[in-house]
A and B are shown apart, each in its own frame.
Chain A
Amino acid sequence: MKARRIVVTSGKGGVGKTTTTANLGAALAVRGKRVILVDADIGLRNLDLVLGVEKRIVFDLVEVVEGRCQVRQALVRDKRFGESLAILPAAQTRDKTAVSELQFAEVVNNLTEMCDYVLIDSPAGIEHGFRNAIAGAAEAIVVTTPEVSAIRDADRVIGKLQERGLPMRLIVNRVRPEMVRNGEMMSVDDVCDILSAELLGIVPDDPEVIDTTNRGVPLVLDPTQRLGAIYTKIARRLEGEMIPFTQLGSGGFFGRLFEVLRAG
């Protein structure tokens, strides 16, 4: 059975694509799926860092494309997940024009023989690197935060995905329920309305996540991190399970009384 090929993209930088790719990949792996993560951000790679495998990189995507190594040699397995999670790192010293869309798609295609999921971490923007990333995919996850710039860029990206006929679902990241209650932040419903997108996950803001990415520890592996459960839920939804979004609490007296705040 060939793997599902999913690109994780956003348009806006810094909304959590890499963190999402890493943590979603880890959550799928914990559930027994074989997952390969592909870092499409040539020149500014970070997926390796977020997973804590940066010291074990020998070969990278560009070297695979240029035929200087086999793809299996370039895959870095994350030993914490047994055989279930590996990453194909980007090159750090090249730029995105080093690989064409066709070449990228071919590499991803080869990977589909070896796993159940290929998750592609897209770079920011809508240029060459982004086009490569989506060339390898059959579906998309768009990550956004409830802020005007992020939503505007997500809208643009959704337009591009529609042009290519890629089905997409939305993850709204860094939601601050208290600010939503106070009317200081747009709600998840607002975001989904504006983007006309189907929701895959809601991830609350948690400044301690930075620590986990600094240390290279996926959230599902850290029992102190409640966000791990949320990525597990997202993984299950991706697998087709209907999981309701957890209610965080109804709107307070000073907020939107009928706003149902959710996460998960």
Chain B
Amino acid sequence: MLNRVMEWFRTLFGTTSSSSVAKERLRLVLLSDHLALAPDVIEAMRRDIFEVISRYVEVDEAHSDVSFEHKDEGIAMLASIPIVSLKPREPEAGLGDQSSPKEETSVLETVSVNGHNSDNYGRRPRKRRRRKASGASQTAPAQ
């Protein structure tokens, strides 16, 4: 009984009602359940991510991992993709593609194209080459 009075107080004084909490928890858990139930979608996403990133860098696909985690108020897709080396850039490929790489990498929370995986739980890329001071790497979007 006291529990219900407390609940009533919580709602009255503006703290979240239990039904709102329930609704939000359900939203996240259903999203998580749907992701778990769509391995083909996740696989397709993974392949597309590799394909895009591989245009700019060599990646170590065997040691890569794409997963979904509950973070704070939502679910984040996390990609940890060891970067082996930069690819030599095609002369004209960069400018025309300026917009799309930005859009694609913005989907990825913790992948950094230039090899500094600062936010990926401490995993280090397998090999890293120093960025050239000049050259094609300038056109890669900085993160």
A–B contact via C-beta, under 8 angstroms = yes
Using a CB–CB distance below 8 Å, which chain A residues touch chain B? 147-148, 151-152, 155-156, 159, 180, 182-187, 190, 194, 254-255
Tell me which residues across on chain B come within 8 A of A180, comparing CB atoms: 19
A190 touches B8 (CB 8 A): no
Which listed residue (A156, A187, A194, A254) contacts B27, Cβ 8 A?
A: A194
Q: B18-48 vs A: 1/0 string, CB under 8 Å?
A: 1110110111011001100100000000000
With contacts A151-B26, A182-B8, A183-B11 known, what are 9 further pairs, Cβ within 8 A?
A148-B22, A148-B25, A148-B26, A152-B26, A184-B7, A184-B17, A185-B19, A194-B26, A255-B11
Q: How far does the Cβ of B50 sit from chain A's closest Cβ, in whole Å?
A: 28
Q: A115 vs B52: C-alpha distance in the bound complex, in angstroms?
A: 59
* Closest 9 A/B residue pairs (Cβ): A183-B17, A183-B11, A186-B19, A183-B19, A148-B22, A155-B30, A190-B23, A184-B7, A184-B18
Q: How far does the Cβ of B23 sit from chain A's closest Cβ, in whole Å?
A: 5
A152 touches B7 (CB 8 A): no
Tell me which residues across on chain A come within 8 A of B26, comparing CB atoms: 148, 151-152, 194
Q: A25 vs B7: C-alpha distance in the bound complex, in angstroms?
A: 39
Tell me which residues across on chain A come within 8 A of B7, comparing CB atoms: 182-184
Tell me which residues across on chain B come within 8 A of A183, comparing CB atoms: 7, 11, 17-20
Cβ of B4 within 8 Å of any chain A Cβ, yes or no, is yes
Using a CB–CB distance below 8 Å, which chain B residues touch chain A? 4, 7-8, 11-12, 17-20, 22-23, 25-27, 29-30, 33-34, 37
Tell me which residues across on chain B come within 8 A of A186, comparing CB atoms: 19, 22-23
The chain B residue sitting closest to A147, CB to CB, is: B22
**A190 and B25 contact, Cβ closer than 8 Å, known pairs A254-B8, A254-B11:** no
Tell me which residues across on chain A come within 8 A of B23, comparing CB atoms: 186, 190, 194
Tell me which residues across on chain B come within 8 A of A182, comparing CB atoms: 4, 7-8, 11, 17
A152 touches B19 (CB 8 A): no
Tell me which residues across on chain A come within 8 A of B34, comparing CB atoms: 159
Tell me which residues across on chain B come within 8 A of A255, comparing CB atoms: 11
**A194 and B30 contact, Cβ closer than 8 Å, known pairs A183-B18, A254-B8, A254-B12:** yes
Q: A190 vs B25: C-alpha distance in the bound complex, in angstroms?
A: 13
Which listed residue (B18, B30, B37) contacts A152, Cβ 8 A?
A: B30
The chain B residue sitting closest to A254, CB to CB, is: B12
**A156 and B33 contact, Cβ closer than 8 Å, known pairs A184-B17, A194-B27:** yes
**A184 and B29 contact, Cβ closer than 8 Å, known pairs A148-B22, A254-B12:** no
B4 touches A184 (CB 8 A): yes
Query: What are 6 residue pairs bridging A and B, where the CB atoms are less than 8 Å apart in the complex?
Result: A147-B22, A148-B22, A152-B29, A152-B30, A183-B18, A184-B7
A184 touches B30 (CB 8 A): no
Q: How far does the Cβ of B116 sit from chain A's closest Cβ, in whole Å?
A: 40
Q: How far does the Cβ of A132 sit from chain B's closest Cβ, in whole Å?
A: 22
Q: A49 vs B18: C-alpha distance in the bound complex, in angstroms?
A: 36
Q: Which of A152, A184, A187 has the largest number of chain B CB atoms within 10 A?
A: A184
Which listed residue (B19, B25, B27) contacts A184, Cβ 8 A?
A: B19
The chain A residue sitting closest to B7, CB to CB, is: A184
Q: A186 vs B27: C-alpha distance in the bound complex, in angstroms?
A: 13
The chain A residue sitting closest to B3, CB to CB, is: A184
Tell me which residues across on chain B come within 8 A of A194, comparing CB atoms: 23, 26-27, 30
Q: A2 vs B8: C-alpha distance in the bound complex, in angstroms?
A: 52
Q: A183 vs B18: C-alpha distance in the bound complex, in angstroms?
A: 6
Tell me which residues across on chain A come within 8 A of B37, comparing CB atoms: 159
Tell me which residues across on chain B come within 8 A of A156, comparing CB atoms: 33
Q: Which of B12, B19, B25, B29 has the largest number of chain A CB atoms within 10 A?
A: B19
Tell me which residues across on chain A come within 8 A of B22, comparing CB atoms: 147-148, 186
Q: How far does the Cβ of A197 sit from chain B's closest Cβ, in whole Å?
A: 13
Q: Which of A155, A156, A183, A186 has the largest number of chain B CB atoms within 10 A?
A: A183
